[in-house]
Structure 1
């Protein structure tokens, strides 16, 4: 995924499926300047990771 698409998903009112290495995640923040995104993994709000947006895949 590219940074612009990650920002679009983050700002969207609709729900989009996003995966990180096969695991479902929610985008919580996008750092456009550095190409990084903070994501929540699974259903626990405290389970977050900051990853390069190119590791994120949009699901169908």
Structure 2
């Protein structure tokens, strides 16, 4: 996924189906300068982490 699309999803009021390593995730914030996204699994909000935007997959 590219940074622009990740940014659109993060700001969208609708929940999109996005995964990281096969796990459904929620995109909290996108850092376009570094190409990273702050994410957490949909069912585990306490497991927040920063990952490469390129590792996210929209379904």
- Shorter-chain TM-score: which interval? over 0.9
Provide the secondary structure at the position in 1 that maps to 2:13.
coil
Aligned length: 59
Per the normalisation by structure 1, the TM-score is 0.91
Alignment gaps of 5+ in structure 1:
none
Per the normalisation by structure 2, the TM-score is 0.92
Alignment gaps of 5+ in structure 2:
none
Moved over 4 A (4+): none
| CA–CA separation in structure 2 for the residues paired with 1:42 and 1:14 | 14
- 2:14 is aligned to 14
